Each structure stands twice: as C-alpha cells, then as structure tokens.
Amino acid sequence: MQDAPKFGLDRMSAVEPTIAALIVSPDEALRPDARCPRPQCRVTDDLLSKAYDAAARMGRIGNFMSHLMLALSASLQEVAVGAPAHDFSDASLQAFALMSRELGRLMSTLVQARRQVWLAQSPLTEACRRTLRSVPVEPGELFGSAALEALERTVQARKTREHLSVLQRSVSPPSRPRGSSAAPQRSYHPQAHPSGYLSCHEGLSVTTAGCRASSASFSCFGKAGCCAMWSFCAS
C-alpha cells in the first residue's frame, strides 16, 4: 500500500520529542523510538505498539480487499447477471465499510491508550493531561500538532503567572517591623474659640500646658464628634 504512514497504516507512531522530554532524558527524547523510563510502563507501551501494528496490517489488507471488491462489482456490471448477485456485491461493500470504520476506532483507541501511558509518567497537572488525551487523533502521529500547541500554551501561561507573581512581590509594601503594629499617634493643635472654648476632635485629648489650676466643662457646638473645653488658667 502506498503512503501507508500518511494514513497511519504503517506502524505505531513514535512519541514526539516535546512530550518525551517531559519524562525521559534529553538524549532518550531525541531518539526515533523513545521508550518509557519505568519497566512496567515500558511493557504496556510495547504491547500497545504491537497491537497497533497488527491493526495497521489489517488495514493494509483491507485496503487491498476493497480494490478487489470494487473490481468485482465493476465486472458484474459488464456481464448479464441476476439482481441477487448485485445485491450480494453491494452488501459486501457495505459490510467492508463498517469493518473499516470499527478498525479505525480500534486503532484510535490504541493511540489514546499509549498517550495515557506516557502522560501518566509526566509531571503535568491532571487538567493538562486530560487536554492532551482528548485532542483529535491525527493519522501518523501520536499526539499531533494540536496537542503540542496546547502544551505550548500551557507552558506560556505558567511562565506568565510566575512572572506576574514576581512583579507582585517586588511592588508589595515592605513589612512592618515587629512591635510596631500600633497605630501612629496623631498630633493635635487646639484651636481657640472666641468665647474662650478650646475645640477638639472626638477621641483626642486636649492638654493645656502651664495651667496650675483649671476646671473644664464640655459643650457641643452642633457638629458631630466635636466637643469644647473651657479652661481657666491661673497666671
């Protein structure tokens, strides 16, 4: 069959170096047939590859049979045969089409199973693994260009979050030293009132320095939170 790798009917596709580099060493990732680092996963990976290769051979044989069946159908059109022969030929073509569809589903499932074997050994998050598992299967590819683009977007998003985190830490205000959690004291300068009252704000004390004897009374000026103190200072 011509162009068998193009249609995914040659053999199980190798793991893309971008994905393999997440799991194995760089030297192993660049090999055309990178293998799983864990022995048990490697056994599962090999079995899945052998099952896919057998399904691919079935696909190539099926492609050859489809040409034979089409040639038989065309020859029946040229000779005088009864309607039952044409019906049998059409039914055979339909059955072969259904078999080819199920074979394609089987091969797609094997590809997704091998994806899972590799992703289960990766340090990616479960959300990223789910995204890479669910991308459409491309003939002749294990993960395909769509999965690599999704992985690249994930890496860029993570780098952006890390960069923003660094910027936030750099512009955050310096931490207050221990023991300095109390609120700073506000200075207050009393204002003299024409009637002899000293006005003050609520919550702030008013002291009159240099007074040897004083008596005080509070009176509201009509403003919320304000009071007045009347002081008599002896000279």
pLDDT tens digits along 149-206? 877 777 677 677 777 777 777 776 655 656 555 555 554 444 444 444 444 444 444 4
Domain count, the chain: 2
Same domain, 146 and 205: no
- Record the pTM: 0.61
Residues 218 and 116 in one domain: no
Cβ-proximal residues to 219 (8 Å cutoff; 6+ apart), any chain = 197, 227, 228, 230
99 and 215 share a domain? no
Domain membership flag for residue 180: no
Per-residue pLDDT at 183: 52
pLDDT, mean of residues 109-132: 91
Are 11 and 81 part of one and the same domain? yes
Examine the fold and report which residue of 170, 202, 218 is the final residue of a domain before the chain moves on.
170
8-state DSSP, 180: -
128, 213: one domain: no
**Residues 153, 48 share a domain:** yes
Radius of gyration of the chain from its Cα atoms, rounded to whole angstroms: 42
pLDDT band of residue 146 (cuts 50, 70, 90) is confident
Q: What 3-state class would DSSP assign to 102? A: helix
Q: Assess if residue 126 is contained within a domain.
A: yes
Whether 149 and 116 share a structural domain? yes
Which ranges of the chain would DSSP assign to H, the alpha helix? 17-20, 26-29, 39-78, 83-119, 126-134, 144-171
Q: Give me the chain's average pLDDT, please.
A: 75
pLDDT above 60 for 88: yes
Dihedral pair phi/psi, residue 226, rounded to 5°:
-115, 150
> Is 179 domain-assigned?
no
Same domain for 197 and 128?
A: no
Domain that residue 95 falls in = 5-170
User: Is residue 54 situated within a structural domain?
Assistant: yes
Same domain, 118 and 221: no
CA pair distance 198, 215, nearest whole angstrom: 13
pLDDT of 215 strictly over 60: no
Residue 93 to residue 65: CA distance in whole angstroms = 10
23 domain residue, yes or no:
yes
pLDDT of res. 203 = 40
